[in-house]
Amino acid sequence: MRIPLRARPLLVACAPLLLSGCFHLFGGGGGGKADFKPPRRVDPQDVAVPEGYRIEVVATGLTYPTGVAFDGEGTPYVTESGYSYGEDFAPGRLLRVEKDGRLTEVAKGEHQPWTGVTWHQGAFYVAQGGEQGGGRIVRVTPGGLMTPLVSSLPSLGDHHTNGPVVGPDGALYFGVGTATNSGVVGPDNASMGWLKRNPAFHDVPCRDVTLAGVNYPSANPLASQSGQVLTGAFVPFGTETKPGQVIKGGMPCSGAVFRLVPEATTPELVAWGFRNPFGLAFAPNGRLYVTENGYDVRGSRPLFGAADWMWEVEPGGWYGFPDFAGGKPVDQEWFKVPGGEVPKRVLQEPPGTPPQPVAAFGVHSSSNRFDFSRNPDFGHVGEAFVAQFGDQAPDTGKTMAPVGFKVVRVDVSNGVIEDFVANKDKGSGGPASRLRKAGLERPIDARFEPSGRALYIVDFGVMLVKGKGDLRPFQQTGVLWRVTRATPEAKP
């Protein structure tokens, strides 16, 4: 699959050199529409990789795994989220993966979901997403001692505290997602669970913004009787806004990337205006890149056709949320929901000029955590390998065929995206549960081990989408995969 940066993303792909089949445009909806009964079957033979590479199973039976890191000996450790959309809670955990695939618990706690982990100078650093209790960055020793470094991050909503990664400067970098889909709290946030838990929660800008006074009517899921309320941007549900109203910026804010220097407890703002900066990674040249999950067709302010994006982050930059998507203003036909009206901007004036993204992924692909290749023995040095969780249609919007459910590689110099690991299929693609096979379900992280010779893929597991607001995740269906070069002399 090749997606030119300036082309509108289409739900179609074909990579005959890499995969055994092509995806077709009309496949009958999203990938989550399937039937599944545990236990999950796993078979690398059902997964296609490029010639000269091989894929194998490292560990199975994980519950909502989200990230992988490696200690000083190269041993892999995995975070289990402790939370999945669909309102399923379990303890967040850090697990060591033994050589025989057994899982040993290192640490366990709250502030779920635990969204990622990195290793630095003898300890693990875990992002605790904070669906309950707020987001945190914690330090975890190999013996399991947890020390919070940053707490009370604004992560009680749709999106959470993400990351972290270590920069060339030795600082920790992490992201905080937005509370909402597009800046306005609505009934969709009640169906996701958090509005009833935290009815006063909303998005917080990092700098002062001036509102246009645009308010959206919706049903009131917090009231015992039916009725409508009006809600504006950057305010609690049911609160109207006025033209010229100034919303004060606050720290910590939502929809931003932060930096935490060694020995500090207060994070510094790096850049803001992201919807959900889920994946962060530094390229071999030391530049920071971020993947952003795009807007959905849901809530009081739905936006249609918004891709996921990869950005090269400039310190101090503003990346467009909630009035731009991929550098384009949202008040145009491109983002109009079929049968609806052209979206309105909610800000009177943008606080900056958003840049252009490095790459555009498929609409609703949920392009998440990633890493850069650094070793010629693996190949594709300098390219980013991105895990795509896959669509959650129809909950996030309709699709004509499954989108995502694979690992792609991105040439950040020109924005070209190509499939790297995906399920073998001659139909419309999607997760193994939909294909009735034993391959990938929902990749959420792709990370190279320290030598750079092996790429580990964290597979979240089975999550079905039976209808709008009806998400059904399955515990103990997560998998850790490993991709290596089968023959170093082979050309990728």
Cα-based distances in Å from 208 to 159, 249, 271, 367, 409: 22, 4, 14, 30, 37
Structural contact between residues 177 and 155, judged by C-beta atoms closer than 8 angstroms: yes
What are the two backbone dihedrals, phi and then psi, of residue 197, each rounded to the nearest 5 degrees? -75, -35
Per cent of the chain over pLDDT 70 is 93
Q: Does the pLDDT value for residue 239 go beyond 60? A: yes
Residue type, 26: F
**What's the mean per-residue pLDDT of the chain?**
92
Instruction: Report the residue count for the chain.
Output: 492
* 69-84 tens-digit pLDDT: 999 999 999 999 999 9
What are the two backbone dihedrals, phi and then psi, of residue 432, each rounded to the nearest 5 degrees? -60, -35
Return the structure tokens found at 67: 């990230």
Give residue for tokens 């669970």: 193
What domains sit in the chain, N to C, each tagged with a CATH number? Answer: 44-198+258-485 (2.120.10.30)
pLDDT band, residue 1 (cuts 50/70/90): very low
Distance of alpha carbon 284 from alpha carbon 373, whole angstroms:
8
Q: Which residues, in sequence order, are CB contacts of 226 under 8 Å at separation 6+?
A: 219, 220
**CA-atom Rg of the chain in angstroms:** 21
Q: Does the pLDDT value for residue 492 go beyond 60? A: no
Distance of alpha carbon 319 from alpha carbon 136, whole angstroms:
23
Distance of alpha carbon 332 from alpha carbon 314, whole angstroms:
26
* 187-210 tens-digit pLDDT: 999 999 999 999 999 999 999 999
Is there a cis peptide before residue 113, judged by omega within 30 degrees of 0? yes
For residues 424-446, average pLDDT: 94
* 20-78 tens-digit pLDDT: 333 333 345 899 988 999 999 999 999 999 999 999 999 999 999 999 999 999 999 99
pLDDT at 28: 52
pLDDT at 372: 98
For residues 106-110, average pLDDT: 97
Lowest-confidence segment of 166-175, 215-224, 350-359 by average pLDDT: 215-224
Q: Does the pLDDT value for residue 490 go beyond 90? A: no
Return the structure tokens found at 375: 């070793």
Tell me the whole-structure pTM to 2 decimals. Answer: 0.93
Work out the angle at residue 273's Cα, subtended by the Cα atoms of residues 271 and 274, and round it to the nearest 5 degrees. 90
Q: Does the pLDDT value for residue 457 go beyond 60? A: yes
Reference 3, options 312, 418, 422, 399; nearest CA is 418
Q: Does the pLDDT value for residue 364 go beyond 70? A: yes
